[in-house]
Structure 1
């Protein structure tokens, strides 16, 4: 276990900003920023690609696993594993952007919230690249500590699509003259392509499962729109099959190489 003296300033910074982020999320649910809650603004700018409300409960799992990671990198991870120090700066920026997004979205600064969402996404991509490149951390340990970021990146990937759709609706921007249902079908297809790309590039089987969760929730939220419901459910099934097949194949390859 680490001693306080062996923990870098960057890791302590991650701990501090994580606590601030949790506090900001609590305030966004229990205190009215600018006279309204996150849920109220989300309902106000609801789009056909917005998942059903229950889907957002995934934030609880994200913060729970991320909290476990923060505890580990601060109090248990060996100073020899400098991957935690390399990840700290983009993670701190991510947590700051996360907190600012809450204020921007609740205050209906939709364009600013979309920009902050892109910052959150970009920092998570940087973190993921660092995990993929790292060769020092034992594989069994890397799998465990990557799970929070797999969940986080997966949900933020979906949230970015939703946030940009909200921005399009807010600015009354008719993308290429497409109807909103057509836009939803296209964006869910893009999401599937992204999920498969990340799966193949990083061997991360958790990431696509977040899309499956989100797509089912999109279908639930659109009971009267058959095209969207069928597209979302269809892609969810396709992703689940691809992910399961990839997982089984990887397990078989490991057995052969063992």
Structure 2
């Protein structure tokens, strides 16, 4: 049997001015977002995110908001984005086909991340919903492109800083989008809808389970998105079972969904490792 040789994504073509522009764009995007982060944590005269929008974006803003410690995952994501920005700026990455495929998209996701913080500070909550939905779409495209251009020979840093960081970002923003929309709806729907909050919350979490498994399936059962999604769901459960507003049914459902979205891709990935496919 003959095999057609594949070109690895790390094979570098002759760098162009557009490649340099891409590297600069990623660094510039990160600089913008890090300033927005400083404002979003209360520095530079800004208001902490949980206190903006009248508290609607806090851990108590809706039945689908994760407890406060869940947001520590942003530290991991931002460190990963910093690592990516430094790595992709190296001369050896300038003409990389892999960077050409995903670099501009990663820059877009970084900018949208910062724009969400700006919207939370300066605009109405409806705008935070618009921005986070755009961010989720951009992350889906970025992660899909990452998967399509991935080969086993791409290297550890490639896997960590592109697949890993983008996957974590996607998994977390998937749940953050649900929480953001829930926070917005909590402030605009009639009070009578509160009687059905439990049913709606459980139904939405069931949809999250389907989305989480869909992301894992479409990405070849990569685990990074599932890790972030399960992390957020676990803290959502903590918030509903031990914090305010309390809701036992939603809390227990969140635990079940967290287990599903994490254990299924881990199990499939494990089986694929133990039972590799043969040509």
TM-score range, shorter chain: 0.7 to 0.9
Matched, 1:235 2:257: yes
For 2:170 and 2:77, locate their aligned partners in 1 and report how far apart those are by CA, in whole Å: 10
Q: Aligned-pair distance for 1:168?
A: 0.9
Q: More helix by proportion, 1 or 2?
A: 1
Q: Shift of the alpha carbon at 1:50?
A: 0.3
The answer as to 2:49 corresponding to 1:38 is yes
Q: What whole-Å deviation, never above 9, does each CA across 1:29-58 have from its counterpart, x for those lacking one?
A: 12443xx32121377210011000000000
Aligned runs of 1:147-158 on 2, under 5 Å? Answer: 147-158=164-175
Contact 1:31 1:37 in 2 (8 A): no
Is 1:75 paired with 2:90? yes
> What pairs with 1:1-258 in structure 2 (closer than 5 Å)?
8-29=20-41, 30-33=43-46, 36-41=47-52, 44-45=55-56, 46-75=61-90, 77-107=92-122, 109-134=124-149, 138-141=153-156, 142-144=158-160, 145-172=162-189, 179-203=196-220, 204-223=222-241, 224-254=246-276, 257=278
Q: TM-score, normalised by structure 2?
A: 0.81
Aligned partners of 2:52 and 2:121 also within 8 Å: yes
Q: Which whole-Å CA distance do the structure 1 matches of 2:122 and 2:109 have between them? A: 20
Q: Give distance in 1, aligned partners of 2:53 and 2:142.
A: 28
SS of 2:37's partner is helix
Provide TM-score, normalisation by structure 1: 0.87
CA distance in 1 between counterparts of 2:38 and 2:86 reads 20
Aligned residues of 2:240 and 2:250 also touching (Cα < 8 A): yes
Question: Which sections of structure 2, spanning at least 5 residues, go unmatched?
Answer: 1-11
Deviations 1:63-121 (A, max 9, x none): 11121111111115433422212323322332222222112112351111110111111
- Distance in 1 (alpha carbons) for counterparts of 2:52 and 2:195: 25
Aligned CA distance change for structure 1 residues 80 and 173 (closer, same or farther; 3 Å): farther
Partners of 2:173 and 2:125 in 1: how far apart?
A: 16
CA distance in 2, matches of 1:56, 1:68: 20
Q: Is this contact kept in 2: 1:110–1:170, CA < 8 A?
A: no
What is the CA-CA distance between 1:206 and the residue it aligns to? 1.4
CA contact (8 A) 2:112 2:131 kept: yes
